[in-house]
Protein backbone atom coordinates (compact mmCIF):
# COMPACT_ATOMS: atom_id res chain seq x y z
CA UNK A 1 0.00 0.00 0.00
CA UNK A 2 2.93 2.33 0.66
CA UNK A 3 4.21 1.61 -2.84
CA UNK A 4 0.85 2.56 -4.35
CA UNK A 5 0.77 5.77 -2.29
CA UNK A 6 4.26 6.66 -3.52
CA UNK A 7 3.25 6.09 -7.15
CA UNK A 8 0.08 8.09 -6.66
CA UNK A 9 2.11 11.02 -5.36
CA UNK A 10 4.45 10.76 -8.37
CA UNK A 11 7.46 9.03 -6.81
CA UNK A 12 8.02 5.99 -9.03
CA UNK A 13 11.48 5.33 -7.60
CA UNK A 14 10.11 5.10 -4.05
CA UNK A 15 7.22 2.97 -5.26
CA UNK A 16 9.61 0.48 -6.87
CA UNK A 17 11.77 0.44 -3.73
CA UNK A 18 8.74 -0.31 -1.57
CA UNK A 19 7.74 -3.14 -3.91
CA UNK A 20 11.25 -4.58 -3.73
CA UNK A 21 11.23 -4.37 0.07
CA UNK A 22 7.87 -6.15 0.15
CA UNK A 23 9.13 -8.84 -2.22
CA UNK A 24 12.12 -9.53 0.02
CA UNK A 25 10.02 -9.81 3.18
CA UNK A 26 7.40 -11.96 1.46
CA UNK A 27 10.14 -14.22 0.16
CA UNK A 28 11.28 -14.86 3.73
CA UNK A 29 7.73 -15.64 4.86
CA UNK A 30 7.13 -17.88 1.84
CA UNK A 31 10.35 -19.75 2.55
CA UNK A 32 9.20 -20.45 6.11
CA UNK A 33 5.77 -21.55 4.86
CA UNK A 34 7.41 -23.92 2.35
CA UNK A 35 9.59 -25.35 5.10
CA UNK A 36 6.49 -26.11 7.21
CA UNK A 37 4.80 -27.78 4.26
CA UNK A 38 7.88 -29.87 3.43
CA UNK A 39 8.25 -30.92 7.05
CA UNK A 40 4.64 -32.04 7.18
CA UNK A 41 5.02 -33.90 3.87
CA UNK A 42 8.00 -35.66 5.47
CA UNK A 43 5.88 -36.88 8.36
CA UNK A 44 6.42 -34.09 10.91
CA UNK A 45 3.03 -32.96 12.12
CA UNK A 46 2.33 -29.27 12.65
CA UNK A 47 -0.52 -28.38 14.97
CA UNK A 48 -3.13 -26.61 12.87
CA UNK A 49 -4.32 -23.78 15.08
CA UNK A 50 -6.53 -20.83 14.30
CA UNK A 51 -3.40 -18.68 14.54
CA UNK A 52 -1.66 -20.80 11.88
CA UNK A 53 -4.67 -20.51 9.54
CA UNK A 54 -4.82 -16.77 10.17
CA UNK A 55 -1.11 -16.39 9.39
CA UNK A 56 -1.51 -18.36 6.15
CA UNK A 57 -4.43 -16.13 5.17
CA UNK A 58 -2.38 -12.99 5.80
CA UNK A 59 0.56 -14.28 3.77
CA UNK A 60 -1.66 -15.17 0.83
CA UNK A 61 -3.35 -11.76 0.94
CA UNK A 62 -0.05 -9.92 1.22
CA UNK A 63 1.32 -11.74 -1.83
CA UNK A 64 -1.80 -10.89 -3.82
CA UNK A 65 -1.75 -7.22 -2.79
CA UNK A 66 1.93 -6.93 -3.76
CA UNK A 67 1.17 -8.28 -7.22
CA UNK A 68 -1.80 -5.94 -7.58
CA UNK A 69 0.32 -3.02 -6.36
CA UNK A 70 2.85 -3.68 -9.12
CA UNK A 71 0.05 -3.49 -11.69
CA UNK A 72 -1.38 -0.29 -10.18
CA UNK A 73 2.04 1.35 -10.14
CA UNK A 74 2.52 0.44 -13.79
CA UNK A 75 -0.85 2.03 -14.57
CA UNK A 76 0.15 5.22 -12.73
CA UNK A 77 3.36 5.32 -14.77
CA UNK A 78 1.50 4.89 -18.07
CA UNK A 79 -1.05 7.56 -17.17
CA UNK A 80 1.74 9.95 -16.27
CA UNK A 81 3.60 9.21 -19.50
CA UNK A 82 0.46 9.90 -21.50
CA UNK A 83 0.06 13.22 -19.75
CA UNK A 84 3.63 14.13 -20.69
CA UNK A 85 4.96 14.40 -17.17
CA UNK A 86 7.37 12.15 -15.29
CA UNK A 87 6.26 10.01 -12.40
Instruction: Tell the CATH topology of 2-82.
Output: Methane Monooxygenase Hydroxylase; Chain G, domain 1 (1.20.58)
- Spell out the residues 6+ positions from residue 46 whose beta carbon is closer than 8 angstroms to its own: 36, 39, 40, 52
Are the C-beta atoms of residues 25 and 66 closer than 8 Å to each other? no
Q: Over its length of 87 residues, how does the chain's per-residue pLDDT go in tens digits?
A: 999 999 999 999 999 999 999 999 999 999 999 999 999 999 998 888 999 999 999 999 999 999 999 999 999 999 988 887 555
How far does CA 2 lie from the centroid of its chain? 11
Are the C-beta atoms of residues 9 and 86 closer than 8 Å to each other? no
Q: Cα–Cα distance between 35 and 85 in angstroms, integer? A: 46
pTM: 0.80
Q: What pLDDT was estimated at residue 86?
A: 52
Hey, which residues are catalytic here? 54
Amino acid sequence: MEAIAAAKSGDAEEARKKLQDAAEELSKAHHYQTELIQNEAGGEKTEMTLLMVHAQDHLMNAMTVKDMAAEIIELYEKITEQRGASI
